[in-house]
């Protein structure tokens, strides 16, 4: 049997990235969430998991342990998984991608893309507390993601899923990608 496939999930806020994660999980495949590593480290340091603290801690970890700090901390969890596919959610920069590629011969980077207009509509309709309330806040969030290197990750993805349509269309497309991965044995 060939190595398991580690599927990296990338996308801008509101692109539909979470649907990919949930689809994997519902199909019985584990997903390692990079943000969880930061939350666990915050716990170890007795820090309140506020967005500010988590943001500062993430930058701190990158500064002291290098740009792939969070990725490196996820490797043991990914290695432990015995399933044919294991997802990794929260990739934001190319050094992280290179770290995963170095460890997993079958690493596949999947990006989900939607137009800024569509992403704005989705985030605004959802009205979660941390969602942008207006276009300016939306642009600030986009700029923050791009500043870390998300654009480079998306531009060099192995698979690009365009998500301008419905939720059902997205799920169908995601399942097709996963089916192709499983058939490539």
Q: Under the rule (CB under 8 A), what is the footprint of a copy of itself? A: 12, 94, 113, 115-117, 142, 146, 149-160, 162
Report yes or no: 61 and 69 within 8 Å, Cβ to Cβ. yes
**Lateral strand order in the sheet of 31-33:** 31-33, 85-89, 5-11, 107-113, 159-162
Decide whether 44 or 117 has the Cβ nearer to a copy of itself.
Answer: 117
Nearest in space to 34 (alpha carbons), one of 58, 64, 53:
58
d(CA 5, CA 89): 14
Decide whether 29 or 120 has the Cβ nearer to a copy of itself.
Answer: 120
* Nearest distance from C-beta of residue 108 to a copy of itself, angstroms: 10
* Nearest distance from C-beta of residue 127 to a copy of itself, angstroms: 22
* Nearest distance from C-beta of residue 75 to a copy of itself, angstroms: 22
Decide whether 48 or 183 has the Cβ nearer to a copy of itself.
Answer: 183
5: three-class secondary structure by DSSP: strand
């Amino acid at each position: 049997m060939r190595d398991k496939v580690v599927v990296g999930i990338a996308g801008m806020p509101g692109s539909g990235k979470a649907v990919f994660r949930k689809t994997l999980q519902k199909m019985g495949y584990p997903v390692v969430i990079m943000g969880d590593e930061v939350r666990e480290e915050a716990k170890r340091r007795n820090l309140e998991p506020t967005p500010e603290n988590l943001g500062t801690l993430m930058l701190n970890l990158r500064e002291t342990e290098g740009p792939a700090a969070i990725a490196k901390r996820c490797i043991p969890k990914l290695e432990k998984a015995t399933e044919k596919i294991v997802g990794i959610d929260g990739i934001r920069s190319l050094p992280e991608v290179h770290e995963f590629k170095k460890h997993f011969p079958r690493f596949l980077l999947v990006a989900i893309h939607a137009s800024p207009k569509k992403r704005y509509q989705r985030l605004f309709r959802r009205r979660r507390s941390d969602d942008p309330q207006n276009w300016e806040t939306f642009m600030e969030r986009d700029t923050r993601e791009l500043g870390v290197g998300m654009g480079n990750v998306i531009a060099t993805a192995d698979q690009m899923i365009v998500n301008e349509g419905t939720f059902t269309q997205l799920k169908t497309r995601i399942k097709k990608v996963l089916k192709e991965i499983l058939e490539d044995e």
